Amino acid sequence: MDKIISILSNIRPEFDFTTSKDFISDGFIDSFDLVTFVAALDKEFGIKIKGTEIVPENFCNLKAIAALLKKHGAEV
Amino acid sequence: MKFKYRNKKITGVLSVVPKNFKTFDEEMENYQADKARTKRLKLVMGYDRHHMVEDGVTVSDMSVFGMNYLFDNGLLKKEDISALVLVTESPDYFLPPTSNVVQGRLELSTDVLCIDINQGCCGYIVGLMEAFALLEQEDMKKIVLINADILSRKASKEDRNSYPLAGDAISVTIVENSSDESLIQGEIKMDGTRHEVLMIPAGGFKMPSTPETAVVREDSYGNRRSLDNLVMQGREVFHFVQTEVPPLIEGLFERIGVLKSDIDWYLFHQPNKFMVEKLAEELDVPYEKMPSNIVTNFGNPSGVTIPLNISFNISKRLLDETFKVCFAGFGVGLTWGAIVMNIGNVDFNELIEF
């Protein structure tokens, strides 16, 4: 989980991602940040997140992101 | 719509890009987001430079320039042209059709049929379909398919959604009958219920341009544009492409009995590098078979990205070799479609500057 938080904080250092329950509606990440975040996750975890999976519900909080990564066999 | 043609071929491709270009780094100050975020976006999306026309240059200017290059270099004769199909979303006028303007400026025969088609990112697929269909008539010689767009003039410089990828270009593709029996097969779909996802809201009869439509407003992401500008709902466009394009292509391959490994080149429309790479991953196609470098080197000139892909990435190899290719376009309308065909041993395949 620390790795996910680290990647998110690298993209938007001004926010505390451990406190938000919905990164999208809280305005922590916009659609461009999401693209940057997905590219970073692909690289850091050695996975390929599908284009159809890049939807807000898979990235709204740490739990959702961890679930997506686990689906791709990543150790979170 | 499913379609197929026989005894047709592409015999030449010329792509023309403006000399003038700007780099993403030069324009970074225009955007509201901080530099670090914008730089990361540059790497992921593949933004680097985009070629754009100078003020006052029109689609007919660039088209006439390209056609004269072909005439002057002995690559095309005026008397061999049966029809001029021009696909654009940035016409010189509401009326007359820009194809008629081009015909007149080139002093082509009055027997040359001129057709404008309003299509964008899928414009190469739609244009080829029209060209192939016209060749079914008797005594047809060569169909000149011009794809042309200068939409940079409609993108707001302060809109990080659309301006970094806006690019201008035209292409001329020569299509003619052939003794080659190989089938050209494809499929195209359209969904007008989502037409607002990519649009220029003002300037037509529905919402004429006025001082009010020219007022620049900021959206919730800090992008600034007016109703006279191109607006692209990025997230919706991305989701549309990822959900609709792969099934269409896989369904087409299954129907016509083509394996993914049979295709030498996947020449797709290129809105940005990330989107193309995600399509390659979804289709399980190697990145090297599906180039994603057009937006990096030229920007996204709408329906011209596929022919520009041919000219830039296959280049002179197309003069002596033949490849099985899958063309795919997707965008405004919404429209998405693909064609599988052989292309090769062409008379010319060049990229020049305007």
User: What's at B118, amino acid-wise?
Assistant: N
Q: Buried (b) or exposed (e) across B202-222, using 16+ Cβ within 10 A?
A: bbeeeeeeeeeeeeeeeeebe
A51 to B279: CB separation less than 8 angstroms, yes or no: yes
B172, B70 contact by CB (below 8 A)? yes
User: Which residue segments constitute the domains of chain A, with CATH numbers given?
Assistant: 2-71 (1.10.1200.10)
A8, A37 contact by CB (below 8 A)? yes
What single DSSP character describes residue B344? E
To the nearest whole Å, the CA of A28 is away from the closest chain B CA by 11
d(CA B199, CA B202) in angstroms, rounded, equals 9
- What percentage of chain B has pLDDT greater than the value 90? 84
To the nearest whole Å, the CA of A50 is away from the closest chain B CA by 6
pLDDT confidence band for A54 (50 / 70 / 90): very high
pLDDT confidence band for B268 (50 / 70 / 90): very high
Helix (H, G, I), strand (E, B) or coil at A72: coil
B241 to A51: CB separation less than 8 angstroms, yes or no: yes
Instruction: Please give the average per-residue pLDDT across B126-133, as a whole number.
Output: 98
B303, B124 contact by CB (below 8 A)? yes
**Of the candidates B315, B318, B339, B337, the residue with the CA atom closest to the CA atom of residue B327:** B339
User: What's at B128, amino acid-wise?
Assistant: L
Token match 């193309």: residue? B276
Interface residue ranges in chain A relative to chain B, Cβ cutoff 8 Å: 11-12, 30-33, 35-36, 39, 48, 50-52, 54-55
Give the model's pLDDT for residue B183.
Answer: 94
Mean pLDDT of chain B, nearest integer: 94
Alpha-helix residue ranges (DSSP H) falling in B77-225: 98-106, 123-134
B274 to A39: CB separation less than 8 angstroms, yes or no: yes
pLDDT at B264 over 90: yes
Chain B residues inside the 8 Å CB shell of A55:
239
B239 to A39: CB separation less than 8 angstroms, yes or no: no
pLDDT in tens, B285-302: 999 999 999 999 999 999
Helix (H, G, I), strand (E, B) or coil at B142: strand
Q: Which of A33, A39, A52 sits opposite B243 (nearest CB)?
A: A52
Give the model's pLDDT for residue A74.
Answer: 82
Residue bearing the bigger pLDDT, B15 or B34: B15
B44 to A52: CB separation less than 8 angstroms, yes or no: no
B224, B158 contact by CB (below 8 A)? yes
Mutate to test the interface with B, among A12, A33, A35, A54 (most CBs of B within 10 A): A35
β-bridge pairing B322-331 and B335-344: antiparallel
B242 to A32: CB separation less than 8 angstroms, yes or no: no
Q: How far apart, in Å, are the Cα atoms of B328 and each of B164, B313, B342, B343?
A: 22, 16, 14, 15
Give the model's pLDDT for residue B66.
Answer: 98
Question: What is the count of residue pairs from A and B with beta carbons less than 8 Å apart?
Answer: 50
Q: Which of B41, B44, B242 sits opposite A52 (nearest CB)?
A: B242
**Of the candidates B27, B41, B26, B24, the residue with the CA atom closest to the CA atom of residue B221:** B41
Measured between CA atoms, the residue of chain B closest to residue A29 is: B221
To the nearest whole Å, the CA of A56 is away from the closest chain B CA by 10
Q: Which of B37, B160, B243 sits opposite A11 (nearest CB)?
A: B37
pLDDT in tens, B49-97: 999 999 999 999 999 999 999 999 999 999 999 999 999 999 999 999 9
**Which residues are within 8 A (CB) of B248 and not within 5 positions of it... i.e. 6 or more apart?**
B187, B189, B336, B337, B338
Of A20-34, B186-200, B215-229, B245-259, the range with the lowest mean pLDDT is: A20-34
A36 to B40: CB separation less than 8 angstroms, yes or no: yes
User: Which residue segments constitute the domains of chain B, with CATH numbers given?
Assistant: 1-354 (3.40.47.10)
Instruction: Please give the average per-residue pLDDT across B165-177, as a whole number.
Output: 96
pLDDT at B223 over 80: yes
* Cβ atoms < 10 Å from Cβ of B168: 31
Its ipTM equals 0.87
pLDDT confidence band for B108 (50 / 70 / 90): very high
**Of the candidates B273, B272, B197, the residue with the CA atom closest to the CA atom of residue B240:** B197
